[in-house]
Amino acid sequence: MNRELKEALEILEKEKNIDKSLILKSIKESLEYAYRNYLVRSANKSGDIVLAQNIQKDQDFINVVIDEDTYDYEIFLAKEVIPDDLDIINDLTEVKLSEARKYDENAQEYDRVYIEAPRIDLGHIVIQNSKGLIINKLREQEKSSLYNEFKDKVGTVVTGTVSRRLKNAYNINLGRTDGILLDSERNKAEKLEFNKKIKVYIQDVVESSKGPKIKVSRADPNLVKKLFEQEVTEIKDGTVVIKSIAREAGSRTKMAVYSYNSDVDAVGSCLGVNSIRVNAVVDELGGEKIDIVNWDEDISNFIGNALSPAKSTIIVADEDNKAALVVVPDQFLSLAIGKEGQNARLAAKLTEYKIDIKSETQAVVQGIYDKFGVEYDHEKFKDALEQAEKEKNKEAKNDVKSADSVKKDGDEE
């Protein structure tokens, strides 16, 4: 075998992670292809068109055996065994019994036995005439190898390098291939400079004619989850689990955690000493704020935790309709709702409940406290109740005036 070809194929095995057996299979098929063409051309030149056609059709006629270490090869032809007392008509397709038994001691007359063919130099033929076949097969094998490698990494976090800007996306170099980071899967405020190393979450891998398409994300909530799994020992060993995550990439994340060990503080484990663990994740996400709260099987307690840092007065959860009414002190109303409703929105995603937030004043005025039998300081809400009563009387008077006006118009008609 050509020494340069051998060296090139060994590089493919090491650098492209292509299994040696697949490389040998490609070489075997290429040698068989080349030798078949050689025999067909020879038969045609001698005028034996039938022989040429038979060689072309018989896919088992040629067998190449390759040494796995040296890449040297031997070629065998499937010949029909004829009795020793008969003359050979075509030594390319026939062999006498005595000769056949040198290769197969159990050979019988009219069996087919593989006999070593005359050695010719096929190295240059493989390189020149079969180069495209080898390259194509190795490319397919490399694509398959890449697909299998990254298919196993779906749902994991890997480190990549920003390689170039595309339309509505970035190419992220993942080593042997690139991943695609769509603009919709990243924090648009984050600057992705050329050669910057970033961690990405592998969402999906799809086979294509050009190789596997690897979809990565910086906006997926699972990225946050996996980053904490890397940072927090208690999550790695299963003592602490992440129950749910709600995220608005680049702005804020809420994460609910639970500890199976009463001696281990779930939230404290995720924060780390001097918040070192959570800060490592925040830094990787470009400064994104992260709220970590305790998960609770009591949904009312969980909703209260999810709305932190706001404090709740009462929480009434309707488990059938996945809805909850939350009352907070007046001074916590804006905090509970959050800027542009973000805190309430993330809490709803985290708990999977529709959350209606009221202030204490609203709860008193709208009769919510009375409905649920909640005691409150009437004196404290005296002014609000009086104002509500005035508004109610005003509306009642307006309704009467509207009714009189309608009646008058009817009488005039």
CA atoms of 258 and 261, how far apart (whole Å):
9
pLDDT attached to residue 1? 53
**Which of 245, 270, 295 finishes a domain?**
295
| Claim to verify: residue 52 and residue 135 sit in the same structural domain | yes
Kindly state whether residue 370 falls inside one of the protein's structural domains. no
Same structural domain, 249 and 188: no
Q: What is the CATH number of the domain that holds 224?
A: 3.30.300.20
Considering the domain architecture, whether residues 101 and 52 belong to the same structural domain is answered as yes
Query: Do 88 and 212 belong to one domain?
Result: no
Alpha-carbon gap, residue 341 to 203, rounded angstroms: 29
Q: Are residues 241 and 290 in the same domain?
A: yes
Same domain, 59 and 128: yes
Mean pLDDT by 10 residues, the chain (413 residues): 62 66 78 86 88 89 85 87 90 91 91 86 57 69 87 95 94 94 90 93 92 94 96 96 96 97 96 96 94 96 95 94 95 95 97 96 90 85 78 63 55 55
Both 232 and 209 in a single domain? no
- Residue 73 counted as domain residue: yes
In terms of domains, do 169 and 105 share one? no
Residue 322's pLDDT is 96
Question: Would you say residue 22 lies in a domain?
Answer: yes
Residues 121 and 207 in one domain: no
pTM (two decimals): 0.69
Identify the domain boundary among 105, 139, 173.
Answer: 139
| Tally of structural domains, the chain | 3
Residue 53 lies in a domain: yes
User: Both 80 and 135 in a single domain?
Assistant: yes
Task: Look at residue 58 and tell me if it is in a domain.
Answer: yes
150 found inside a domain: no
Q: Are residues 68 and 187 in the same domain?
A: no
Does residue 283 sit within a domain?
yes
Output the pLDDT for position 59.
Answer: 87
Q: How high is the pLDDT of residue 297?
A: 96
pLDDT at res. 152? 93
Residues 225 and 199 in one domain: no
Residue 260: its pLDDT value, please? 96
Domain residue limits at 229:
220-295
Instruction: Annotate the chain with three-state secondary structure.
Output: CCHHHHHHHHHHHHHCCCCHHHHHHHHHHHHHHHHHHHHHHHHHHCCCHHHHHHHHHCCCCEEEEECCCCCCEEEEEEEEEECCCCCCCCCCCEEEHHHHCCCCCCCCCCCEEEEECCCCCCHHHHHHHCHHHHHHHHHHHHHHHHHHHHHCCCCCEEEEEEEEEECCEEEEECCCCEEEEEHHHCCCCCCCCCCCEEEEEEEEEECCCCCCEEEEECCCHHHHHHHHHHHCHHHHCCCEEEEEEEEECCCEEEEEEEECCCCCCHHHHHHCHHHHHHHHHHHHCCCCEEEEEECCCCHHHHHHHHCCCCCCCEEEEECCCCEEEEEECHHHHHHHHCHHHHHHHHHHHHHCCEEEEEEHHHHHHCCHHHHCCCCCCCCCCHHHHHHHHHHHHHHHHHHHHHHHHHHHHHHHC
Q: Is residue 389 in a domain?
A: no
